Amino acid sequence: MGLLLVNSRGNLMHNSDTNLRRAIGAMVAVSALFVLDYVVSIRYGGPRAGSAVHIAIAALSMITAGILSTLVFALRTRRRLRALSDKLRMIAAGDYTARADISTIDEFGELGRAFNSMVGSLSRARDLLIEKANTDSVTGLANHRYFQERLAVEFSRAARYGSPLSLLMVDIDHFKLFNDMNGHPAGDHALREIATVIAEQVRDVDVAARYGGEEFAILLPETCAAQAEILGERIREAASNRVFEQANPQCARLTVSVGVGEYPSHCSDRASLLRAADGALYTAKMKGRNVVATFDGESGEDPKPDPHKLYVLLHATDLTTIEAIAAAIDAKHGYPSRHSAAIAQLAAEVGERMGLSQEERTSLYVAALLRDVGQIAIPDSVLEKSDALSAEEMGLVEEHPTLGHAIVQKSPYMAAMLPAILHHHERFDGTGYPEGLAGDQIPLAARIIAVVDAYQSMAVDRPYRGKLDACTAQAEIRRLSGTQFDPAVVTAFLAALSDEVKKAA
């Protein structure tokens, strides 16, 4: 009866606390009247004393008392269930601090304890999921996504309070060679070891993350460049002293190169802080690796894209931008205008003759444009040398495909181009570099670029020789077929050249 009432306007009022209280109040009043009438009758010996009416009144009073108790219990039950419902809504909203009342020893107390145990388990499971979502599965450091989140937070804080914020970019030197010599399990073990080195050196407030591949990023709040450089040197030294027991004894050690950037001395925004540290890292690579380098821009000046436009390259998605970058590299190395574009175009034509799909030819075109981007690490004095190169200088030259591969692999858009960039200086007989691959082990795109690049390079003046005429250059390509070049590629290349001559005529 207190659970469903009709008000003066005829509206149903379901399960309201107000209705329950009204019902209880009405029953209390009725019960009190019955009891008072019965007491008066007994006290003054009225004519109905002891009659069936008074017995009925007593029974009705007992029934009323029972109903009152039930309503009181219902009201308390409703209040507790509503409180529990509120806690559930808090949890649904993501607040896992909600806890139920466990002060009683009845069923509600037991329900509250079970509820709290469930919430505790959910909270721990959520924390574990968040930790896994923010952690790199190989190294145990923070992953790239979490690093970017923390970079935004820390940069905002540094800008608000005018405090310094430094960034270290750490890259493992010659890691691909290490992987190839020892296998990927040993490579993963080495990544974990380097991650351990980093974790041992940083503070609790620092953010150490695997930025991608063999590159790590370390965010250093309230740290100037000089302090960051000291930390970078500690990491470099600790890594160089680490022995990797799972590795081949001939390649059981690894070194790292470190770049340092700082806000506000080197930049004014997050993107330029990354550019500063990344540019410093490339400086460290060009200094011979196993080096810590700090961004050398003027104080307060944002780091511009370097002369080779690497930052732009790594974020480029259109051929026009990539062609412009390739042209800038050609100009620095003394090649004529559109040298790389001509190589790329001819390589794509050879690829078409050899049955490559449109997508494969596009990847081949871009790879041909960027084939020598790694030469930015070679000093001009070596590239422009007219005499024979020393063994050390030749070593620098032979490293440029590996460095080019390392540069381009940082781009999220150019994975398909990497094999051709890395292997375009391999020789068909297995005597090339960087890995000494032979025959069909060399990716087809790399074999195509090798032929076209050699031919086009013969047609321009170089410090160490004069240019060759077309007939002499083609004869040289034929002579090297089967040793330096793939014979099938040479055949397709010469046919493509013949078609070009016919079109020109």
Q: DSSP labels for 42-57?
A: HHHT-TTTTSHHHHHH
Q: Domain limits at 32?
A: 4-95
Q: Report the distance separating Cα 215 and Cα 220, nearest Å.
A: 17
The whole-number pLDDT of residue 151 equals 93
**What's the burial of 424, exposed, middle or buried (CB within 10 Å: 0-12/13-18/19+)?**
buried
Query: Is residue 422 domain-resident?
Result: yes
Q: Report the distance separating Cα 280 and Cα 287, nearest Å.
A: 11
Query: Is residue 101 domain-resident?
Result: no
The whole-number pLDDT of residue 350 equals 94
Structurally, how many domains does the chain consist of? 3
The whole-number pLDDT of residue 28 equals 61
Query: Is residue 126 domain-resident?
Result: no
Query: Is residue 275 domain-resident?
Result: yes
Is the same domain home to 224 and 324? no
The pair phi, psi for residue 346, each rounded to 5°, is -70, -35
Structure-token pair, residue 70: 């039930």
The whole-number pLDDT of residue 493 equals 94
First to last CA, the chain: 105
Structure-token pair, residue 359: 């997508």
Is the same domain home to 273 and 328? no
Is the same domain home to 325 and 356? yes
Q: Give the number of other Cβ atoms within 10 Å of residue 385's Cβ.
A: 14
The whole-number pLDDT of residue 301 equals 46
Is the whole-model pTM more than 0.75?
A: no
**Which residue of the set 214, 349, 399, 435 is catalytic?**
214
Is the same domain home to 261 and 318? no
**Tokens 């700090």 appear where?**
294
The whole-number pLDDT of residue 62 equals 63
**Ordered per-residue pLDDT tens for the chain, 505 residues:** 333 333 433 333 344 455 555 555 655 665 665 566 656 565 555 554 455 655 665 566 667 666 766 766 677 777 777 877 887 788 777 777 778 777 777 777 777 788 788 877 877 777 777 667 788 888 999 998 899 999 999 999 999 998 999 999 999 988 877 777 778 888 888 899 999 999 999 999 999 999 888 899 999 999 999 999 999 999 999 999 887 766 555 556 789 999 999 998 888 888 888 888 888 887 888 787 899 999 875 434 445 444 434 544 555 555 666 666 677 667 666 677 678 888 988 999 999 999 999 889 888 988 898 888 877 766 767 766 777 778 887 887 788 888 888 878 777 677 888 899 999 999 999 999 999 999 999 999 999 999 999 998 888 876 666 788 889 999 999 999 999 999 999 999 999 988 776 665 5
Is the same domain home to 84 and 221? no
What kind and span of H or E run contains 29?
helix 17-44
Domain ends where: 55, 72, 95? 95
The pair phi, psi for residue 411, each rounded to 5°, is -80, 135
Is the same domain home to 346 and 400? yes
Query: Is residue 108 domain-resident?
Result: no
Is the same domain home to 491 and 350? yes
Told to judge if 214 belongs to the known catalytic residues of this protein, a careful annotator would answer yes
Is the same domain home to 331 and 470? yes
Q: What is the CATH number of the domain that holds 337?
A: 1.10.3210.10
Q: What is the CATH number of the domain that holds 197?
A: 3.30.70.270
Domain ends where: 35, 65, 95? 95
Query: Is residue 124 domain-resident?
Result: no
- Tell me the β-bridge partners of 168: 218, 260
Domain ends where: 62, 95, 128? 95
Structure-token pair, residue 325: 């970058």
Query: Is residue 305 domain-resident?
Result: no
Q: Report the distance separating Cα 93 and Cα 90, nearest Å.
A: 5
Is there a contact between 192 and 145 (Cβ–Cβ < 8 Å)? no
Is the same domain home to 321 and 416? yes
The whole-number pLDDT of residue 5 equals 37
Question: What are the angstrom distances between the C-alpha of 375 and each of 214, 332, 370, 379, 433?
Answer: 21, 10, 10, 8, 14
Is the same domain home to 12 and 66? yes
Is the same domain home to 43 and 176? no
Is the same domain home to 338 and 265? no
Q: Report the distance separating Cα 267 and Cα 261, nearest Å.
A: 8
The whole-number pLDDT of residue 356 equals 92
Query: Is residue 352 domain-resident?
Result: yes
